[in-house]
Amino acid sequence: MTELLNIALPKGRLGEKVYDLFEKAGFPCPSIRENSRKLIFENPEAGVRYFWVKPSDVAIYVERGAADVGVAGRDILLEYRPELYELCDLGIGKCRMAVAAPAGFRDDPRKTLRVATKFTRIAREYYASLGRDIELIHLNGSIEIAPILGLSDVIVDIVETGTTLKENNLEVIETVLPISARLIANRSSYKFRSAEIGRIVRAIAGGAE
């Protein structure tokens, strides 16, 4: 009997859309739609085991082989550079990494810019490419508060609808990069389970407009 294909799904706003794609690709697991606190769902007939993890942890599961495939945002892949294969852009979870500041902010190039973010590598590389001297302040969440309380001058964070920024009187001043969800695979799973993984890629890529 072949082993179940382990699929790491990102918990949260993207998760259900991602599961829909896998279901359409021929890997259904109806029990996953039952609202419960369960984190692991199996459908032996379809050969799959799904599990919900924090979006920023999907790449760790896939890199280490605990998941054969998964879905992660381009932000996570660029920030952590996990050793895995990025198979395709799913065209969902679209947003952007942006620099935001309080309305009316003006950058003084003579001063070191204080940047608060969860994404220190992305921010460092972005400002290095501009030749701008910065001080990085690593935070784990509620980044929007930092410039309001004077902890930083600007933030580098994900902007989707812009509502969070707006409600905190912040505005985008620069776009760093566009982001979307990517299908990722463990390197050895990609080699040894190529038929199943290839089926997912073809079904999903074929379904994309």
**Residues interacting with ligand PRP, by CB under 6 A?**
141, 143, 157-164
Shortest separation between residue 172's beta carbon and ligand PRP, angstroms: 10
Between 48 and 143, CB nearer to ligand PRP: 143
CA pair distance 95, 73, nearest whole angstrom: 10
Between 20 and 160, CB nearer to ligand PRP: 160
Between 167 and 209, CB nearer to ligand PRP: 167
Give the length of the chain: 209
Between 26 and 162, CB nearer to ligand PRP: 162
Shortest separation between residue 55's beta carbon and ligand PRP, angstroms: 7
Between 10 and 82, CB nearer to ligand PRP: 10
Shortest separation between residue 143's beta carbon and ligand PRP, angstroms: 6
Amino acid at 179: I
Torsion of CA 118, 156, 53, 17, to 10 degrees: 180
Shortest separation between residue 144's beta carbon and ligand PRP, angstroms: 6
Q: Write the secondary structure of the chain as one string of H (helix), E (strand) and C (coil).
A: CCCCEEEEEECCCCHHHHHHHHHHCCCCCHHHHCCCCCCEEEECCCCEEEEEECHHHHHHHHHCCCCCEEEEEHHHHHHHCCCCEEEEECCCCCEEEEEEEECCCCCCCCCCEEEEECCHHHHHHHHHHHCCCEEEEECCCCCCHHHHCCCCCEEEEEECCCHHHHHCCEEEEEEEEEECEEEEECHHHHHHCHHHHHHHHHHHHHHCC
Amino acid at 61: Y
Shortest separation between residue 11's beta carbon and ligand PRP, angstroms: 11
Between 84 and 170, CB nearer to ligand PRP: 170
Shortest separation between residue 45's beta carbon and ligand PRP, angstroms: 34
